Structure 1
């Protein structure tokens, strides 16, 4: 039997080993990582509706009340239903708007379906635009592409499945009006109030993944938002410009980074319960997505902690 003294020495060696590995990993991350995201824009991505016109920049002054960004990948079946609900709601208001459908390199005819929808509803390119990405970037990359080309004073991104009732935008706008400070603000739609119901219908494995993900987010990224992944978020133009010029993650965990950035630069953030219904047709593999998200969130924390990632334009 080993003596307590030997056991203590072993623990000390293990701690030293872990510390050295962490330092070496941190140095490697710092040396090999670009501090700012490389946002590559292909020629076709500068235009909307094929080559009907050039997109503006988010650095230009706003000219509409609201821009709605809808990332879509192989969404020819679900997208029309979501667009119909959105347009009916937006057309019933006096405020000005635009919808930007960002086709994230779909293998189906998502872009054509979106353009056909606009024609059937008589929507001009001033109200409805399609951005067709040259490559598949991931949901975060698609949202970024739309955000950086939007004209709205406020910008909403909404998932193409229409899981969140679109009229919940009214709650979001009201909350944004309360929290906005110096042109900065972000409001997250939240399904946290539905958690007990969702646990009852989920398998044990998926429930464990969910709790593990929430713990990982809380430990390494965001502590003040219960539901970081709901695809219904409203931002002011200034906040969208700062956040989406800085985001590095282009896949599923991009929501966590956008909230992490908001927390780091003191952008006011709030959360509003929304009506949400699970829609069939998700292309997300929960196991693979969980592995990727856990990895991305840990590396997100590490890269910001060691200064490898930086924020493009910090608030004054």
Structure 2
């Protein structure tokens, strides 16, 4: 039996349709309606410097600090002190210079197996719970889940997510703050300012292997094609939110692993929340939790699933009720 070009095209077309249906089915079956939104009883409280338990506030309540810094930390007992020393020095100096400036740092221990919580509590004892609080998650949720839980427990008018490795220098906060003001978040006070490493891309490419460079550009293409347009670096862990923008976006968030930044920005763009992107100083720190191939593969799958789940209505752009 002859097998012509037309038959081949039909076969390829059928394979494409079947593959798409399988991906769509997988996206539906693996979707969770409210991923990790409810918190364990132990996650509702923090320890004071005297060792007493007090409840965290909710993001829905009015702010009582000018700035909250949320630091997700998983097995970071070695790298966390370097970041905290720099952050606290900057924040304390700023408070001395600006008497009206108030802040808090929330270190979120994402189910670590080392002494991350003990190290973080050392800063609570040093500065008090008015300035440093530790949220210890019962089990590992992933970076997105840790940032979400810290954000939902914050008191700041502005909320900054900052990585525990200290790769971004803390004084760059002033750059992202200025960019936030430039996009004029009024009248609903909705705005997001993202630190960016895009200006360092040529230098980083020169230092990477061809394979890792291919993965990086492939990921950037998938981000652009499926989810977020106009933001060159979605993954930099230095992002500043107004309290209102944080509430609106984090109360919808589903992805708890590495691709959560993309979903956050996708939600923001869908809701027409203004987003700024500003260059920041960044240094690669040893000890990354990313596994080069498998982490990129997981993020790529997440990007496809994010778009499909919102397009098909499995996930909706609707805020959930108050966290329990």
Residue among 265, 276, 300 paired with 2:306: 300
Kindly report structure 1 stretches of 4+ aligned residues shifted beyond 6 Å. Answer: none
Over 3 Å counting, the alpha-carbon distance change for 1:291 and 1:27 in structure 2 is closer
1:168 aligns with 172
RMSD: 1.9
Secondary structure at 1:223 match in 2: coil
Over 3 Å counting, the alpha-carbon distance change for 1:148 and 1:205 in structure 2 is same
- In 1, Cα distance between equivalents of 2:143 and 2:93: 29
> How many residue pairs are counted as aligned between the two chains?
310
| Pair 1:79-2:76 in alignment | no
Task: Report if aligned partners of 1:70, 1:101 keep a CA contact under 8 Å in 2.
Answer: yes
The TM-score, its normalising length taken from structure 2, stands at: 0.90
The TM-score, its normalising length taken from structure 1, stands at: 0.93
| Pair 1:312-2:318 in alignment | yes
1:244 aligns with 250
Task: Report if aligned partners of 1:102, 1:130 keep a CA contact under 8 Å in 2.
Answer: yes
1:41 aligns with 39
| Distance apart, 1:27 and its partner CA | 5.7
| Distance apart, 1:313 and its partner CA | 2.8
1:70 aligns with 71
- In 2, Cα distance between equivalents of 1:198 and 1:79: 24
- In 2, Cα distance between equivalents of 1:277 and 1:303: 35
1:7 aligns with 5
2:291 aligns with 285
Over 3 Å counting, the alpha-carbon distance change for 1:251 and 1:30 in structure 2 is closer
| Pair 1:145-2:149 in alignment | yes
| Pair 1:157-2:158 in alignment | no
Residue among 79, 98, 111 paired with 2:104: 98
- In 1, Cα distance between equivalents of 2:260 and 2:24: 22
| Distance apart, 1:101 and its partner CA | 0.1
Over 3 Å counting, the alpha-carbon distance change for 1:29 and 1:202 in structure 2 is closer
| Pair 1:195-2:201 in alignment | yes
Structure 2: state its 5+ residue gaps: none
- In 2, Cα distance between equivalents of 1:33 and 1:262: 20
Name whichever of 127-136 and 14-23 sits farther off.
14-23
| Distance apart, 1:245 and its partner CA | 1.2
| Distance apart, 1:270 and its partner CA | 1.0
| Distance apart, 1:118 and its partner CA | 3.2
| Distance apart, 1:116 and its partner CA | 1.1
